[in-house]
Amino acid sequence: MSVKVFETKDVQDLLTAASNLGGQAGNARFQQITHRLLSDLFKAIDDLDITPDEVWAGVHYLNKLGQDGEAALLAAGIGLEKYLDIRMDAADKAVGLEGGTPRTIEGPLYVAGAPVREGVSRIDINPDADAGPLVIRGTVTDLEGKPLAGAHVECWHANSKGFYSHFDPTGAQTEFNLRGAVKTGADGKYEFRTLMPVGYGCPPQGATQQLLDGLGRHGNRPAHVHFFVTSDDHRKLTTQFNIEGDPLIWDDFAYATREELIPPVVEKTGGAALGLKADTYKEIEFNLTLTALLQGKDNQIVHRPRASAEA
């Protein structure tokens, strides 16, 4: 059965009515977007002859997605979050804005409210026998290489199981473990003393993994560390680096890897003097270059619901 009804007046009237397109009440932008997305869905059902069974499978999938609290995780997994980055990169290019540390996706696991320290922060609160010490440090500068004093560098990452505090299903981590924030001094330098993360994997029974299974895809990320960086008169940077050598670096289910975001991992000694749990440790230098406001505005600020907690 391959009927075509999308172009009929009945269906077009239905779309207009369902989205209240052009209606007095409601929000015109919301109506416009709803009308378009609904139209694209109806057209796909027509074009691909999507069956009622398939439609209901999709509808009930949305229930599971919400129950699992995984809509933002799915957004990363289906490339939607990466797509927004591609668009922001293109918008920068269109206005001649080049240089600076490349952006990459925020992901769904940020928690606002980490304690802010001056210059250096030790962020491994809970012991993790399987994770070795790691120092992450660098300088925040502007495009001309001038160190930015008073910049705010926030980082968050997973433990040796690939779990993030606040979202850890084992309950093994306290609030803000492996999450921290530092304010730079006159030299623009920041440093986090922490433990080596391991890559994240989607919850195996969750809606996101269910969809990925159907596509024949895995739901894993290489080991990585997230950053938010802000400084007066500069645009907020959202980025991450990957841990060099992780086998999934170019096979990230969230497509966040970028060539410029794989800093070398260097073996060091002298960890005891830094208060690390072993004298031998790994160090990653990750310098952060911010771009100036665009006509006085930060067009990189993204508003989205985020978890928050009290330190």
Minimum CB distance to ligand MBD smaller for 184 or for 220:
220
* Partner whose footprint covers residue 105, from Fe ion, ligand MBD, none (CB < 5 to 8 Å by kind): ligand MBD
Separation CA 202–CA 293 (nearest Å): 36
150, 173, 174: which is closest to 160 by C-alpha?
A: 173
C-alpha 94/C-alpha 162 separation (Å) is 37
Interacting span for ligand MBD (CB under 6 A) from 103-111, 131-139, 179-187, 228-236: 103-111
46/251 with CB nearer ligand MBD: 251
Alpha carbon 274 to chain centroid, angstroms: 30
Which one of the spans 61-69, 104-112, 124-132, 231-239 is the region binding ligand MBD (CB under 6 A)? Answer: 104-112
Q: Could you tell which of ligand MBD, Fe ion, none binds residue 131, using a CB distance below 5 to 8 A set by kind?
A: none
The answer to whether residue 107 forms part of the interface with Fe ion (CB under 5 A) is yes
Judged by CB under 6 A, does residue 206 bind ligand MBD?
A: no
Name the token pair of 47.
């074009």
Quote the DSSP letter at residue 246: -
Dig out the tokens for 222 from the structure.
């290489």
Return the beta strands (E) in 57-145 as ranges: 111-112, 116-118, 120-122, 133-141
> Across the chain, where does the E strand assignment appear?
111-112, 116-118, 120-122, 133-141, 152-157, 179-183, 189-195, 224-230, 237-242, 265-268, 281-285, 288-289, 307-308
Which residue in this structure is represented by tokens 């269109």?
94
Is 249 a binding residue for ligand MBD by CB under 6 A? The answer is no
The yes or no reply on residue 155 touching ligand MBD (CB under 6 A) is: no
Q: Mark the segment that binds ligand MBD (CB under 6 A) among 60-68, 101-109, 147-155, 276-284.
A: 101-109
Residue 235 touches which member of Fe ion, ligand MBD, none, C-beta under 5-8 Å by kind:
none
Using the contact rule CB under 6 A, the part of the chain among 51-59, 107-115, 143-151, 264-272 near ligand MBD is 107-115
Residues in contact with ligand MBD by CB under 6 A are: 73, 76, 105, 107-109, 200, 221, 254, 256
